Structure 1
Amino acid sequence: MRAVLLTLLLLLVGAPATGGAAQTITLPPTGTDWDYQLGGARPVPAHVGIVERDRRAAPVAGKYDICYVNGFQTQADEKAFWHRHWSLVLKRHGTPVVDSVWGEWLLDLRTSAERHALADIMGRWTDRCAADGYQAVEYDNQDSFTRSHHLLTSADANAYSRLLVARAHGAGLAAAQKNRAGWDGTTVGFDFAVAEQCGQYHECSSYVKHYGSSVLAVEYRDKAFAHTCTHWSDRIAVLRRDVDLTRHGTRRWC
């Protein structure tokens, strides 16, 4: 019996851990300004502590860096890539479903197999963000189901979001809910929010309700920017940008 117990003990000691140590997730700092640089990198003023850039751009040393990944739609300049993953593009009558504003194809989230395949692609991009030195990731177009001609549902988006958050956390990155006001993204694990035009559409309170001061707001019109600064800048970071986020475009803070 002693020999059997000793053997079991040795096996337990030598067995690999079933789950690695939890990654440390760092939220964006509060009490600082942020910059939204998807249209091209530009110098960052000293008062800005948070910067978001496209996943193919370099992060900014000494800042809290957010990596932009278009998780629910295709980038307009990546159609060749998605032709190689054609089964993952959402189609209606054999034709890709398009976000008409940006000319982006919607991704197909309707089955578990498709969601996992897409999460593997986004996961590789997320791992690259982490390796490059980013601290967080934003998966854009989480409301793509509203543009899908009823082919996608909110349940599809929620299930896929949960997979993306798990990939982000596995890489040690915080994950941002992007837009989709009225939905509590913390239910699938999102850590903070990036909100476009929440002042213009009177939605800022929805994000603050779920994320407190961990909300980054961007406005694209002067009147909405002034409103958001007046009513929300004491609690969240507010930025004025041009809607195309051009490299030399509008950029102001409250």
Structure 2
Amino acid sequence: MGINHFRALAAVIVTASFVVTACAGPKHPASETQVPTPHVGFDYQIGGPYHPPSGVSVVSRDHTADPAVGLYNICYVNAFQTQPGAERDWDPTLLLHDASGAVVIDPDWNEALLDLTTAAKRQRIAAIVNNWIDTCAAKGFQAVEPDNFDSYTRSRNLLTSDEAQQYIRLLSAHAHDRGLAIAQKNTAELADNRRRNGLDFAIAEECAENDECATYADAFDNHVEVIEYTDHGLAEACSRFGDRLSIIERDKQVSTPDNEEYLRKTC
């Protein structure tokens, strides 16, 4: 499991009477979507957009940002957890609660987990996230990156991998209807199910550090964007997969170049 990173905060107002408002436009079969070209220049900008470095042709940005002109753009959405502190904006019945009634929080990022335990709740949550996917399509992104697919591993056994997969299939079907490819974010243990789950390519954090890059490369036919967060991870990824995959090292806050913590390296 890789590290989930800083996300640009976006206010989300959700009530029990939420009404789905789908973006107008034609639907597209999955065969019409385009995945990122393997082994090309990549940049991970979910902490804030900036002018892509020379040689970059694929960029991932938050859904609140605009795509980079002339490049292949991946749209980040936090699909399985709330934004930090935004759980108060959600219908409480869509948040995961433990036996004591407390909301289950991802301790690393202070994000509430969403409750995927019933088909009805999965449908309601997907309706919200699919509105964000509609925004991605309307802005001109080519793909979507639903983060925290692996949140069931942090749910204190209250969620299952099957529930996570049933939910992501709702997102992948909607993304394909909007002409967008959809990425599997981390979760190497489910990579072999990528076709059944409707997932087109992978975004893998720290796969070299966790010895998972081969799993993604094999499952997704080298259509993998790799983000490492240490020099050691970058060296390992480049030495073993530098001729096959798109690989970068970023600082852990995926900051912008005007921040003193900013770091971006590649093979």
What is the rounded CA distance, in whole Å, between the counterparts of 1:55 and 1:114 in structure 2?
23
Moved over 4 A (4+): none
Larger radius of gyration: 1
What is the rounded CA distance, in whole Å, between the counterparts of 1:218 and 1:77 in structure 2?
26
Corresponding residue for 2:186?
A: 179
Say if 2:251 is the partner of 1:242: yes
Say if 2:169 is the partner of 1:148: no
Q: Which amino acid aligns with 1:35?
A: D
TM-score computed with the length of structure 2 as normaliser: 0.85
Corresponding residue for 1:157?
A: 164
Report which stretch shifted further, 26-35 or 200-209: 26-35
* % identity of equivalent residues: 43
Q: Which amino acid aligns with 1:119?
A: A
Corresponding residue for 2:20?
A: none
Tell me the alpha carbon deviations over residues 197-220 of structure 1, each in whole angstroms, 9 at most, x when there is no partner: 000010001101110120000000
Say if 2:125 is the partner of 1:118: yes
Contact in 2 for aligned 1:37/1:54 (Cα 8 Å): yes
Tell me the alpha carbon deviations over residues 86-128 of structure 1, each in whole angstroms, 9 at most, x when there is no partner: 2111111221101100111100000000000011011111001
TM-score computed with the length of structure 1 as normaliser: 0.89
Displacement after TM superposition at 1:167 (Å) = 1.0
Q: After TM superposition, list the pairs within 5 Å mapping 1:79-118 onto structure 2.
A: 79-82=87-90, 85-92=91-98, 93-118=100-125
Corresponding residue for 1:6?
A: none
Corresponding residue for 1:42?
A: 50
Q: Residues 76 and 234 from structure 1, CA distance in 2 versus in 1: closer, same or farther, beyond 3 angstroms?
A: same
Of the three residues 17, 28, 32, the one matched with 2:36 is 28
Contact in 1 for aligned 2:249/2:266 (Cα 8 Å): yes
Tell me the alpha carbon deviations over residues 10-52 of structure 1, each in whole angstroms, 9 at most, x when there is no partner: xxxxxxxxx9663620111224111001111111023000000
Unaligned runs of 5+ in 1: 1-18
Larger RCO, structures 1/2 (Cα 8 Å, 6+ apart) = 2
Corresponding residue for 1:65?
A: 73
What is the rounded CA distance, in whole Å, between the counterparts of 1:218 and 1:233 in structure 2?
12
For this pair of structures, how many residues does the alignment match? 234
Tell me the alpha carbon deviations over residues 143-191 of structure 1, each in whole angstroms, 9 at most, x when there is no partner: 1111001110011011001111011111110000000013122221100
Contact in 2 for aligned 1:29/1:64 (Cα 8 Å): no
Unaligned runs of 5+ in 2: 1-25
Q: Residues 149 and 31 from structure 1, CA distance in 2 versus in 1: closer, same or farther, beyond 3 angstroms?
A: closer
